Amino acid sequence: MKNLDIAEVANQTGLPSSTLRFYEEKGLIASIGRRGLRRLFSPEVIDRLALIALGRSAGFSLDEMAQMFTPDGKPRIDRRVLSAKADDLDATIRKLTAMRDGLRHAAACRAPSHMECPTFRRLLRAAASGAWGAPTKQALEPRRVRSSRSKASASSSGSTAQRTRRSAKQ
């Protein structure tokens, strides 16, 4: 394959030339020479830029991405770093899922006011405490009300204290 000038790389990757120059300054890519005033790159730069784009999409910084290449430009990806980033993404997904579920609940809540809704109040407490990192689904669900059947059986039998009070009144 022939070497690519910066305009060809920009065309193939959709990245502006200014980004390619910036990546070169950061040491993420390296030109192999010039054709006139234009930088030349080996064809492998396309794969490297795709790897950088993938890493950026996953939340890696450019400095972290730079560490994923050997001095000769070959990928050197530490699997522990990938696993840690996946754990970070899991935490972010939990946080965003909780926020989404809270917004959906608030949008559909039948309480006269959001401030009267127990679920919304729990969301406010979680947000105020900084606990948005990983609220559980259970924390977002409204508290369960006992069914009328279990209420009836509880009221018919009553607790020992309730029975004692009833007998004392009679």
Helix, strand, or coil (residue 159): coil
Question: Could you read off the pLDDT tens digit of each residue along the chain, which spans 170 residues?
Answer: 799 999 999 999 999 999 999 999 999 999 999 888 889 999 999 999 999 999 999 999 999 999 998 888 888 889 999 999 999 999 999 989 988 988 898 889 898 888 888 888 888 888 888 766 544 454 445 544 444 444 444 444 444 444 444 444 44
What pLDDT sits at residue 103? 87
Q: How many residues does the chain have?
A: 170
Measured in degrees and rounded to the nearest 5, phi and psi for residue 135 equal -65, 145
Dihedrals phi, psi of 15, to nearest 5 degrees: -90, 140
Helix H, strand E, coil C: the string for 50-66 is: HHHHHHHHCCCCHHHHH
Q: How far apart are CA 13 and CA 46, in angstroms?
A: 7
Residue 167 has a pLDDT of 42
The residues that bridge with 69 in the sheet, in sequence order, are 75
34 DSSP β-pair partners: 39
In this prediction, residue 72 carries a pLDDT of 81
The architecture of the domain spanning 4-66 is: Orthogonal Bundle (1.10)
What is the predicted pLDDT for the residue at 132?
A: 60
Measure the N-to-C terminal CA separation of the chain; round to a whole number of Å: 101
User: Exposed/middle/buried for 96, CB within 10 Å: 0-12, 13-18, 19+?
Assistant: exposed
pLDDT of residue 144: 47
